[in-house]
Structure 1
Amino acid sequence: MKPMIATLALTLPLGLAACMDERPAPLPGPATCNADRVQALVGREARPRVIDRAKARSGARTVRVIKPGMAVTMDFRSDRLNLDVDDVNTITAARCG
């Protein structure tokens, strides 16, 4: 029984290694936000279509619409676009973080 266990212990890692590709897939690079690309949207109403366009243009992974008086976290995320809006939902500022 022991020779069989020893054989399995030696051949199992080789079998698993054969299933792997030669090179591992590269990890996705960090997404970064570029608010300069969306400054033309300041003054527009923050409708879903405009928000989606801002996300795509900025390269951000997420968008946070910040309304007046809204509590927000102070954490910085390089992949997030912040859109400040006024009382009538007009974009007043676009910045990353």
Structure 2
Amino acid sequence: MPWKLASLGTLLAAVMLTGCSSTTESAKDTGVTETGHSRCEAKAAEFTIGKKASPELLEQARTRSGAQSARFLQPDDMVTLEYRSDRLNLNTDTHLVVVRVNCG
């Protein structure tokens, strides 16, 4: 008899926990991350390659890519190793011309 109660309790707990699980399918469809921020799409900002860095260019690239934030990175800039899927990076050469676009 006690093993029946234990089995029933385990089954009940499993059923209750499945109701608590959630899927992120809707987040994947909309491009919104689990933190509520939009995901960066670097392809949309590739129009900046070959252009001179400016605040206007940075804002245009951020808007088009859907990124929450954006920054220019020069060759000798120190950066943290944190990855943020909602941040756009515009990598420049020493003459401040954009040479690469990526998210992170």
Q: TM-score, normalised by structure 1?
A: 0.68
Q: Which ranges of structure 1 fall in alignment gaps of 5 or more residues?
A: 1-27
Name which structure has the greater RCO, CA cutoff 8 Å, separation 6+.
Answer: 1
Indicate the SS of the match to 1:33: coil
CA RMSD of aligned residues (A): 1.2
Higher helix share: 2
- Tell me which structure has the larger Cα radius of gyration: 1
Percent of aligned positions with the same letter in both sequences? 36
Does residue 30 in structure 1 map to residue 37 in structure 2?
yes
Aligned residues: 70
Does residue 51 in structure 1 map to residue 67 in structure 2?
no
Name the CA distance, whole Å, in 2 between partners of 1:30 and 1:61: 7
Q: Which ranges of structure 2 fall in alignment gaps of 5 or more residues?
A: 1-34
Alignment of structure 1 residues 71-82 onto 2, 5 Å: 71-82=78-89
Deviating beyond 2 angstroms after TM superposition, the runs of 4 or more aligned structure 1 residues are none
CA deviation string 1:38-72 (max 9, x = no partner): 11210001111111100000000111211111110
